[in-house]
């Protein structure tokens, strides 16, 4: 009964900003570790990782951004409430895609390091929110 829902997408001009939100329901209150991320997929292209994060014990966090978005996008989260956000700044036309939220629980750090950018590493997915950047 786990459900992931993304929101916040829309159409903007180059240089504009959006903030995406991801909510998760049906998950238990706490987990030892949490792996979460935002992926995107444009028509005719493979799904690619935008940014992923690992949250371990003591709220230790590791975040990994794709080179194409580093310095422009910022991820934030509320792991207890299973909320995930993505602030998109200085948007470019090449950012146009369907953006998906992915989450997993009890993920090992070694697995995260090895395959965090692999969409197959995540168990829970939303249906996506469309981001369109055009002039």
How far is it, in rounded angstroms, from Cα 36 to Cα 107?
10
Using only C-alpha atoms, the chain has a radius of gyration, in whole angstroms, of 14
More confident of the two residues 31 and 121: 121
Contact 88, 78 (CB under 8 A): no
DSSP-derived secondary structure letter, 110 = H
pLDDT of residue 24: 85
> How far is residue 84 CA from its own chain's centroid?
7
pLDDT of residue 25: 85
DSSP-derived secondary structure letter, 57 = G
Q: Which helix (H) or strand (E) holds 113?
A: helix 109-115
pLDDT of residue 77: 85
The CA-atom distances, in angstroms, between 10 and each of 7, 44, 50, 104, 134 are 9, 20, 17, 26, 11
12-63: pLDDT as tens digits: 999 999 999 999 888 765 677 889 999 999 999 999 999 999 988 767 789 9
59-110: pLDDT as tens digits: 778 999 999 999 999 999 886 777 889 999 999 999 999 999 999 888 899 9
pLDDT of residue 131: 98
**Token couple for 11:** 């159409």
Tell me the average pLDDT across 102-125.
91
> Residue 29 phi/psi, 5° resolution?
-65, -45
């Amino acid at each position: 009964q786990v459900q992931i829902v993304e929101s916040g997408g829309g159409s903007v001009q180059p240089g504009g900003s959006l903030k995406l939100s991801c909510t998760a329901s049906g998950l238990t209150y706490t987990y030892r570790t949490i792996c979460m991320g935002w992926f995107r997929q444009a028509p005719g292209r493979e799904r690619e990782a935008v940014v992923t994060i690992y949250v371990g014990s003591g709220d230790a966090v590791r975040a990994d951004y794709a080179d194409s978005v580093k310095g422009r996008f910022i991820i934030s989260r509320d792991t207890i409430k299973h909320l995930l956000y993505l602030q998109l700044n200085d948007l470019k036309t090449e950012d146009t895609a369907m953006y998906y939220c992915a989450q997993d629980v009890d993920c090992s750090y070694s697995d995260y390091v090895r395959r965090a950018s692999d969409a197959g590493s995540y168990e829970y997915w939303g249906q996506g929110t469309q981001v369109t950047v055009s002039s």
